[in-house]
């Protein structure tokens, strides 16, 4: 079966995904799956649609040399925006990888609604539409017999949602705890090794982990939206990052870190959610942990989550630190790719 693919957002993750598709071409073919890219949209590098298949290598080259991709467009319709790319790409699968909007989930919500309404599978690494549209988008996908996939949104591509949903039927999830943000974990590790906060942030930026504006990470919003996504999906309780109301790591001083170290403890940006009666209480805040905590040994860019259920007490998934502490577009791309393979095999 041949699948036409549309890439909405063509940044680090979507380009890693395109390369992964190219690399897995032969393996996919052995499974009876072939593909072509028929639509690409960006924020400031133009739009391109070709229902007969775009030259994806050329698109990668153009964007990576800072150029516009519009020269690849040969649609007979005007393509002024991402929604037009989705509509005119004739795609079977739309990958949504535009920047996250923690406040409203837009424009990703509209991209996914449009794709599902047109009968496409919609797969995303963007946490915005999960926390702001999970129930609606899941119901829409079901009514169309398509998939709304978002495995990549938490723990950058390591399977979390699918593992829990497949392996824990009818278990009651009572709490979630973990470290969900690699950037702050790297900064705290460096501070423990004597670096100043500002230098640690600069280092995280220099290896491509922290963004130019690190606010989203250091103030806890990236972690908060991940907690909200897990609670929304796995505890069936809609939650926004605003409800998590995170506290970040800016208030942690070298003196606090030295005192903790002397006591055999360390600070971690701990993410947690717990069922209390009918409600879920969630938080993101720096906490002191000691060597009895599974979080204590998670250093540098390592992240992980522990699920507590009414039957199996503590079940943990850990993503170990990456060499050079780099960020994870390739791992994130794999989560999208896995969602694709699972969607088309269903």
**Which positions touch ligand NAP (CB under 6 A)?**
8-14, 41-45, 82, 97-100, 107, 125-126, 152, 156, 327-329, 332
Phi, psi (degrees; rounded to nearest 5) at 3: -120, 130
- The CB-of-47 to ligand NAP minimum distance in angstroms stands at 9
Nearer to ligand NAP, 126 or 318 (CB): 126
CA 294 to mean position of chain CA atoms: 23
Q: Compare residues 3 and 150 and give the one whose CB is closer to ligand NAP.
A: 150
Which DSSP symbol is given to 199? H
* Residue number, nearest CB to ligand NAP: 11
Residue 259 CB contacts under 8 Å (≥ 6 apart), including other chains:
none
Min dist. Cβ of residue 23 to ligand NAP (A): 18
Of 32 and 43, CB closest to ligand NAP: 43
- Report how far residue 293's alpha carbon sits from residue 289's, in angstroms, rounded to the nearest whole number: 6
User: Which residue lies nearer to ligand NAP by CB, 134 or 267?
Assistant: 134
Q: Which is nearer to ligand NAP, 156 or 286 (CB)?
A: 156
Q: Select 19 or 265, whichever has its Cβ closest to ligand NAP.
A: 19
Nearest to 160 by CA among 184, 186, 125, 113: 125
Helices (DSSP H) in the chain: which residue ranges?
12-23, 25-30, 56-64, 82-88, 108-117, 127-144, 161-167, 182-192, 197-206, 215-218, 221-234, 241-244, 254-262, 329-345
- With a CB cutoff of 8 Å and minimum separation 6, the contacts of 112 are 94, 96, 122, 124, 129, 133, 137, 148
Contact criterion met (CB below 8 Å) for 187 and 204: yes
The edge-to-edge listing of strands for the beta sheet with 121-124 is 47-49, 34-41, 2-8, 93-96, 121-124, 148-149
Nearest CB to ligand NAP, comparing residues 244 and 252: 244
Rounded to a whole number of angstroms, the minimum distance from the CB of residue 331 to ligand NAP is 7
**Residue 50 vs 153, nearer CB to ligand NAP:** 153
- Compute the least distance from the CB of residue 118 to ligand NAP, in Å: 17
Minimum distance from residue 325 beta carbon to ligand NAP (Å)? 13
Backbone angles phi and psi of 273, in degrees to 5: -150, 140
Q: What are phi and psi of 92, to 5 degrees?
A: -95, -25
CA contacts within 13 A on the Cβ side of 58: 11
- Shortest distance, CB of residue 305 to ligand NAP, whole angstroms? 14
Q: How far is the CB of 81 from ligand NAP (least distance, A)?
A: 8
Q: CB-wise, 108 or 289, nearer to ligand NAP?
A: 108
In the complex, what is the shortest distance from the CB of residue 156 to ligand NAP, in angstroms, rounded to a whole number?
A: 4
Task: State the first-to-last Cα distance of the chain, in angstroms, to the nearest integer.
Answer: 13
Q: Please, what is the minimum distance in Å from the beta carbon of residue 140 to ligand NAP? A: 20
Question: 276-286 burial, b if ≥16 CB within 10 A, otherwise e?
Answer: eeeebebbbbb
């Amino acid at each position: 079966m041949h699948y036409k693919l549309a890439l909405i957002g063509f940044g680090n993750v979507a380009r890693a995904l395109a390369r992964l598709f190219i690399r897995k071409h032969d393996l996919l073919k052995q499974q009876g799956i072939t593909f072509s890219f028929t639509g690409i949209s960006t924020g400031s590098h133009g739009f391109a649609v070709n229902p007969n298949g775009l030259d994806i290598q050329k698109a990668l080259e153009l964007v990576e040399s800072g150029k516009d991709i519009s020269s690849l467009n040969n649609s007979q319709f005007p393509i002024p925006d991402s929604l037009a790319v989705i509509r005119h790409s004739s795609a079977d699968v739309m990958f949504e990888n535009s920047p996250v909007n923690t406040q409203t989930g837009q424009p990703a919500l509209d991209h996914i609604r449009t794709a599902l309404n047109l009968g496409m599978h919609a797969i995303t690494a963007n946490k915005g539409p999960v926390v702001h549209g999970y129930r609606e988008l899941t119901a829409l996908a079901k009514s169309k017999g398509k998939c709304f996939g978002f495995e990549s949104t938490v723990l950058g591509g390591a399977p979390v949602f699918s593992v829990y949903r497949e392996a824990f039927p009818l278990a009651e999830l009572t709490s979630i705890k973990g470290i969900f943000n690699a950037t702050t974990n790297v900064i705290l590790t460096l501070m423990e090794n004597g670096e100043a906060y500002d230098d640690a942030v600069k280092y995280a930026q220099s290896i491509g982990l922290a963004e130019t504006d690190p606010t989203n990470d250091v103030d806890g919003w990236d972690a908060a939206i991940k907690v909200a996504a897990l609670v929304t999906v796995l505890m069936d309780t809609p939650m926004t990052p605003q409800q998590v109301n995170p506290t970040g790591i800016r208030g942690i001083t070298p003196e606090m870190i030295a005192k903790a170290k002397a006591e055999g403890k360390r600070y971690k940006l701990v993410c947690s959610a717990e069922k209390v009666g009918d409600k879920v209480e969630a938080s993101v805040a720096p906490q002191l942990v000691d060597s009895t905590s599974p979080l204590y040994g998670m250093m540098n860019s390592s992240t992980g989550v522990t699920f507590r259920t009414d039957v199996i007490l503590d079940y943990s998934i850990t993503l170990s630190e990456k060499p050079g502490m780099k960020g994870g577009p390739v791992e994130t791309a794999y989560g999208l790719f896995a969602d694709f393979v699972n969607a088309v095999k269903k």
